Amino acid sequence: MSNPLELEREAQRQWIAQHPTVEPMARKLLEREFLLPGAALDLEARELARILNFSRSEVSWYAQQEAFLALPAGQSSVGREALVDLPVLSKFDVQAHFDDLIPRRVPRGHEAVTIASSSGTTGKPTRVAFSLPAAGMFGFHLQRQMRWFRVDPSWKKAIIRLPHNFPATDKGKHLDLGQVFRADGWPNVTRLFRTGPAVGFSRFNPTEDKLKWLEQEKPDYLMSFPGTLESLVLATGGKPVASLKAARTISATLTPGMRRRIETASGIHPQQNYGLNEIGIVALRCPEGRYHVNSEHCIVEILDREHRPCAAGEQGQIVVTALTNFAMPLIRYDTGDIGIATSGACPCGRTTPGFADVVGRYRPMHLAPEGTAQRVQLITDVIDEMDPKSLSDLREYQIHQYRDGRFELRLVSKGDCTELKNRVRAAWDATIGDKTPLKIVDLERIPPAPSGKQQEFSSDFFPSRDA
């Protein structure tokens, strides 16, 4: 039987490069997935030394930090344990000190070619300059994930995203309701490899319109938000369209409950990566369920509240150090997300560093009344425990907490979701009672967060940056 490396080499052969330089790079990235642990650590240490030496000498933000000045200059190898003594860079540091994070000079070929801007949960842009090598990794990492799941590059791909995620027209207009985006190849990948066609549709179209569109287009592969995929699966009680062979979810956390409902009802196992506009694609979830870091691109730490490494199984902040972006180095960047640390070998055979799961965004629960987390969990547990067939009318939901402590469960549905309402009410009354009022309301639409993402829970007690 072939070993994992040989199986991946065979899978890579169906991806036809568009340019002679692409295939050597793809081969190099593939081989890195299976390096012996010692060789992988040595390579990481050299790459980390390079970005730390550069940041200390050329980036004023880091040159002013005592911890960076304490690093021995000119080292050719620095282990990741050295990161523990360096300060964590917050999103607000990046927002407030953009100019200080731009190097005085950069290595040849690493000049800034684009600036990525992300509102995240704040509504305030977080801008990061990207070099060509750093920005260019995005397409390679997408292809890596699709190779792992044996996605056929000749397939037709459907994309359901926010209107501004599609190219604007010549008049500057974005995709309107009912309009369809069409392209000869898959965005971000077709510049590297030959692919089938792509079609796109706005997330703001009603679920029934999305289903009609999918039936018309008959795609093999679907990319959408987790909540969108879930609503399509629940609405049909199976695959959103019979032609669908695989799906990938983006931009938000795919919770264990959502994954279970999607897999149980449709037989589709959603692909998931973890990425940031400020870094690129950080890690890919393998078929065995572990997130493997794109180690040629970045280093990931899972840290406790004292910014020390978490033990396997513990939850902590996901902090990322970019290794390839010399146009604006981000060292120990606090993503605002929570992950679960892991250790040991992965059954998939890959040897790259990893973590067990992404729990979601950090929420300052300490600012909300005592018992808030338990009340939110009670509602989500009821939904997670229900048979997907009982949720066929549900399109979207959100739990909101008002300043006076009241809770509101907001539902967008095709029907009245009577069973869901009754189960939530019964569980709430039995556990919480009259101590905290709960109102269940039906809405036509739940407004998205400033970033355009769906929010499962929002609270008036959270500052706007965490809402």
Q: What is the pLDDT along the chain (467 residues), one digit of tens a residue?
A: 479 999 999 999 999 999 999 999 999 999 999 999 899 999 999 999 999 999 999 999 999 999 999 988 889 999 999 999 999 999 999 999 999 999 999 999 999 999 998 755 545 778 999 999 999 999 999 999 999 999 999 999 999 999 988 988 777 788 999 999 999 999 999 999 999 999 999 999 999 999 999 999 999 999 999 989 999 999 999 999 999 999 999 988 888 888 999 999 999 999 999 999 999 999 999 999 999 999 999 999 999 989 999 999 999 999 999 999 999 999 999 998 999 999 999 999 999 999 999 987 766 666 788 888 889 889 988 988 888 888 888 888 899 999 998 999 999 988 878 999 999 999 999 888 777 899 999 998 887 776 666 778 888 888 764 43
| Residue listed under structure tokens 């070929």 | 109
The per-residue pLDDT for 390 is 84
Distance between CA atoms of residues 292 and 37, nearest Å? 14
Residues ≥6 apart with Cβ < 8 Å to 175? 163, 166, 181, 200, 201, 202
Q: What is the 3-state secondary structure of the chain?
A: CCCHHHHHHHHHCCCCECCCCHHHHHHHHHHHCCCCHHHHHHHHHHHHHHHHHHHHHHCHHHHCCHHHHCCCCCCCCCCHHHHHHCCCECHHHHHHCCHHHCCCCCCCCCCEEEEEEECCCCCCCEEEEEEHHHHHHHHHHHHHHHHHCCCCCCCCEEEEECHHHCCCCCCCCCCCCCCCEEECCCCCCCCCECCCCEEEEECCCCHHHHHHHHHHHCCCEEEECHHHHHHHHHHHCCCCCCCCCEEEECCCCCCHHHHHHHHHHHCCCCEEEEEECCCEEEEEECCCCCEEECCCCEEEEEECCCCCECCCCCEEEEEEEECCCCCCCCCCEEEEEEEECCCCCCCCCCCCCEECEEEEECCCHHHCCCCHHHHHHHHHHHHHHCCHHHHCCEEEEEEEECCCCCEEEEEEECCCCHHHHHHHHHHHHHHCHHHCCEEEEECCCCCCCCCCCCCCEEECCCCHHHC
Please state which of the four CATH numbers 3.30.1370, 3.30.300, 3.30.110, 1.10.3470 is assigned to the domain occupying 365-466.
3.30.300
Put residue 389 in one of left, alpha, beta given phi > 0 → left and psi -120 to 50 → alpha: alpha
* Token output for 410: 């907001």
Q: According to CATH, where is 3.40.50.12780 located in the chain? A: 4-136+275-361
The answer regarding whether domain 4-136+275-361 maps to CATH 3.40.50.12780 reads yes
Q: According to CATH, where is 3.30.300 located in the chain? A: 365-466
The per-residue pLDDT for 171 is 76
